[in-house]
A and B are shown apart, each in its own frame.
Chain A
Amino acid sequence: MTINGTLHEGDVETRLLLADFLRHQADLTGTHLGCEHGVCGACTVLVDDRAVRSCLMLAVQANGRSVTTVEGLSPDGETLHPLQQAFHDNHGLQCGFCTPGILMTLLEFLKENPDPSETEVREALSGNLCRCTGYQGIVDAALAAAASLRDARETKA
């Protein structure tokens, strides 16, 4: 499978979860595992540009596909993606456990809905649990990210 543009190959046990392949085989530990039954959203990644729970997919099911993890947001590890910058600026994280899943969920959401209302953001995040922030900072960050992604798009156009 291709992860963040790089090809990864390996023989794995069929029962290995995609999340564990990412963390242990590909050493990409940005993808977090909270509940391992689809509820918390921490493990959300993109597979062929669609947000999915990596704890509910087998690694073998991602064979030949393109996976994007939170590490893929900032390939050089220095320059923050506008989503990451917005979370930094708006206190969108405290411990950071839930953050990778939230960023990947929002990446898909903001691409389809570049100018969301606060309610739409809250609905989009209803599948991501955060035990620290109380969500206000996350929602502010999501709205700020939407605005800066819109600006970036306009400057390009």
Chain B
Amino acid sequence: MKPPPFRYHDPRSLDEALDLLASHENAKLLAGGQSLMPMLNMRFAQPDHVIDINGIDDLAYIRETASGIEIGAMTRQHDLEVSQLLQRRCPVMIEALHQVGHRPTRNRGTIGGSLCHLDPAAELPLVAAALDVTIHVKSRRGARSMPMAAFPAFYMTPSIEPDEMVTSIDFQPWSEGHGYAFVEFARRHGDFAIVAAAALLEVSADGAVTRASATLGGVGPAPLRCEGVENALVGNRGSATLFREAAEANRAIDAMDDVHASVVYRQNLAVELTSRALGKAFERASERSSS
């Protein structure tokens, strides 16, 4: 249960890190280490080179830009959790972060690491999908961006090349007073979810849903945007019946089966959690717009 031998690199700038990535085969970036270190200790990962990006200062930030909110890849999960800006403009991320591991793992774990590790049940990729974030990637060959929907390639694998690194994400926050909720079912607080659901709603003064995002995690290899549910909501007045009926569309999703839960159990959770998330988001939209 100790890491295999590797060469350790400690770059001080992004350029230096990208040079190292471009010139070394079988290299792994070390961000918060909360997934990579267990994999090294258990020797599931055996890289020849470990490139530690903790010494690069300008990769950790949360800022408001003309086009929205931008977050650096190395921003620690705990720093996101206590951000006033996110609390005000993107509270769904905060609600999700409370359920990501434990305080000591959030002190080290980063947003970039969580997105790149891409565990099917991880909370942050799910929130990224719900918000339609854009992911910014750099390499010696240049910079490119892609929507979250195109980021997962397959199971636990993002569509980035070995010489590329995620540097930041950005997104357009929803309107002030939007409703939000993140709910999950896990065996124990802080464990990966078996199924998790995020909901975002914009609601007009007369209670009609004008914009909706419904997303599931833990059902397949990548977060799943539930367009059927979203379409059934927009234009209708929010009510418990509407949310329950709309969430029923999730009973037919293609869910995975593992030691934690069967396909049918996950489908049931997908319906129940979506319905609860929508109800909670709607309640909050009404509260936030009336206050």
Contact = CB atoms under 8 A, between A and B. Distances in A.
Contact of A58 (B1, B8, B42): B8
Interface in A37-86: 37-38, 41, 44, 50-53, 55-58, 60-61
Contacts of A105: 103-104
A52 B188 CA distance: 20
Interface in B95-130: 101-105, 107-108
Contacts of B37: 37-38, 55-58
Nearest to A38: B38
B11 interface: no
A123 B191 CA distance: 12
B33 interface: yes
A15 B190 CA distance: 28
Instruction: Report the contact-size class of chain A (Cβ under 8 Å from the partner).
Output: 20 to 34
A140 interface: no
Interface string B1-30: 111111110100000000000000000000
A33 to B, nearest CB: 8
Interface in B30-72: 33-34, 37-38, 40-42, 50, 52, 54
A55 B8 CA distance: 17
Given A15-B5, A17-B2, A57 B33 contact: yes
Contacts of A44: 104
A132 to B, nearest CB: 18
Contacts of A52: 104, 107-108
Contact of A124 (B38, B50, B103): B103
A135 interface: no
B38 A56 contact: yes
Contacts of B104: 41, 44, 50-53, 105, 127
Given A15-B2, A37-B41, A38-B105, A60 B190 contact: no
B189 interface: yes
Contacts of B52: 58, 61
A127 B41 contact: no
A15 B6 contact: yes
A15 to B, nearest CB: 4
B8 A127 contact: no
Nearest 5 A/B pairs, CB to CB: A127-B102, A14-B8, A37-B38, A56-B37, A36-B1
Interface of A: 13-15, 17, 20, 36-38, 41, 44, 50-53, 55-58, 60-61, 105, 108-109, 122-124, 126-127
11 contacts: A15-B6, A36-B41, A37-B1, A38-B38, A50-B78, A50-B107, A52-B104, A56-B41, A57-B33, A61-B52, A127-B190
